[in-house]
Amino acid sequence: MAQTEAEKPGNPLVEVDNLSVRFPGGRAGFWGQQHLHVHAVDNVSFTIQQGETLGLVGESGSGKTTLGRAVLRRVPVHEGHIRFDGADITQTQGQALRQLRRHMQLIFQDPYASLNPRMRVLDLVAEPLVVHGLVRNRDEAADQVAELLDLVGLPTDTLDRYPHAFSGGQRQRIVIARALALHPRFIVADEPVSALDVSVRAQVVNLLQDLQRDLGLTYLFIAHDLSVVQHISSRIAIMYAGCLVEIGPADTIYDDPKHPYTEALLSAVPVPDPVQERQRKRIVYQGEVPNPMMPPDGCRFQGRCPLVTDICRRQTPPLEEKSTGHFAACWNRH
């Protein structure tokens, strides 16, 4: 089948414009008259090109999962727009949303939590096919599931086994097979290797890379620290307290970070050379992470930033292009 314009590498598959997500956060004030909201994602814009991996990094609570779920239309959008394959999907509902979900899948962090322990591998992986009416009987399901297991490197004689019979890495392969069942084009991988043994992390990352190459997949790959996304990402986005503070080609982010927060994250990445590793200086910024229910005016990083000046406390720094394709939101770094 011929590729459509949007399916060709280099065209945007996902476009996010000024996206904000808020959650109800209770009430404040003497009479409880003030409704608070958690500003989980604030005014975030980025694109992901067809066939690329955008790494999304930030500390716990910075809004990575919420952003990933919002793009998949799994949490309500407060403001902004999401386009998928050129179509605005911000308000898509009902049957159209169900159809859309076939193309956009989520892989969770914890393969132990995301697989029902009472279902066999066959039923776990076939479930999306059955829900979408894509298989007529058990034999057809078994054939398709066997193909999917083969694709993720699991023996096909495992169809009748339960999740507890597998290791963490194997379970994550089952999760990936299930996510691939509907032939998605876009996958949000939310810390897909964080819960796994260090020894099997690289294997699962390699599998995701191989699948991307073979199936033309596009990824948003979420991680806590930069070392995990280094090798898989073509570009990297950094989040802090709900805001996107830096985004650019992976090499540029590693070699020439522009945001002080990115510099601190980078300083935590271990270096393979033992001598350099001993000399590595960690940058640890003291100070307060903003309250997500009452974020300050201006830059969200102001409470921890050594470069803070007056303007940082008054105005939010825009995401500015510092070099070709490399954007950062900082008043004092050029």
Ligand X SMILES: Nc1ncnc2c1ncn2[C@@H]1O[C@H](COP(=O)(O)OP(=O)(O)OP(=O)(O)O)[C@@H](O)[C@H]1O
Positive or negative, the CA dihedral 145, 147, 150, 156 is positive
Q: Torsions phi, psi of 100, nearest 5?
A: -60, -40
Which of residues 65, 172, 218, 302 is near ligand SF4 by CB under 6 A?
302
Whether 42 contacts 245, CB under 8 Å: no
Contacts of 139 (CB under 8 A, 6+ apart): none
Would you tell me how many other CB atoms lie within 10 Å of the CB of residue 223? 24
Residue 42's closest CA among 64, 23, 18, 66?
A: 18
Write the binding mask 4 to 23 for ligand SF4: x where contact by CB under 6 A, - elsewhere: --------------------
> Which of the stretches 54-62, 88-96, 174-182, 259-267 binds ligand X when contact is defined by CB under 6 A?
54-62
Nearer to ligand SF4, 166 or 301 (CB): 301
Beta bridge partners, 187, equal 105, 219
In the list ligand X, ligand SF4, Mg ion, none, the entry touching 40 (Cβ below 5 to 8 angstroms by class) is ligand X
In the list ligand SF4, ligand X, Mg ion, none, the entry touching 317 (Cβ below 5 to 8 angstroms by class) is ligand SF4
Query: Could you say whether residue 305 binds ligand SF4 (CB under 6 A)?
Result: yes
Would you tell me how many other CB atoms lie within 10 Å of the CB of residue 242? 25
> Which of the stretches 64-72, 127-135, 211-219, 259-267 binds ligand X when contact is defined by CB under 6 A?
64-72
Residues between 44 and 83 that touch Mg ion (CB under 5 A): 65
Instruction: List the strands of the sheet with 87-88, edge to edge.
Output: 34-49, 12-28, 79-84, 87-88
Nearer to ligand SF4, 46 or 261 (CB): 261
Nearer to ligand SF4, 15 or 263 (CB): 263
DSSP 8-state secondary structure symbol assigned to residue 129: H
Residues between 245 and 274 that touch ligand SF4 (CB under 6 A): 259-260
Q: Cite the DSSP H helix spans in the chain.
A: 64-71, 94-103, 121-131, 138-151, 168-180, 198-215, 226-229, 250-255, 260-267, 274-279, 310-314
Residues between 196 and 255 that touch ligand X (CB under 6 A): 224
Question: Residue 331 CB, nearest distance to ligand SF4 (Å)?
Answer: 4
Question: Residue 249 corresponds to which tokens in the numbers above?
Answer: 């080609």
Query: Could you say whether residue 114 binds ligand X (CB under 6 A)?
Result: no
Q: Which residue has tokens 């307060």?
A: 288
In the chain, how long is the greatest CA-to-CA distance?
A: 68
Which of residues 99, 160, 307, 325 is near ligand SF4 by CB under 6 A?
307
Residue 178's closest CA among 82, 264, 231, 107?
A: 107
Query: Could you say whether residue 295 binds ligand X (CB under 6 A)?
Result: no
Which of residues 51, 55, 63, 248 is near ligand X by CB under 6 A?
63
- Give me the residue whose beta carbon is nearest to Mg ion: 65
Question: Residue 242 CB, nearest distance to ligand X (Å)?
Answer: 7
Question: Residue 135 CB, nearest distance to Mg ion (Å)?
Answer: 33
Site residues (vs ligand X, CB under 6 A): 23, 38, 40, 58, 60-66, 224, 292
Site residues (vs ligand SF4, CB under 6 A): 259-260, 299, 301-302, 305, 307-308, 312, 317, 330-332
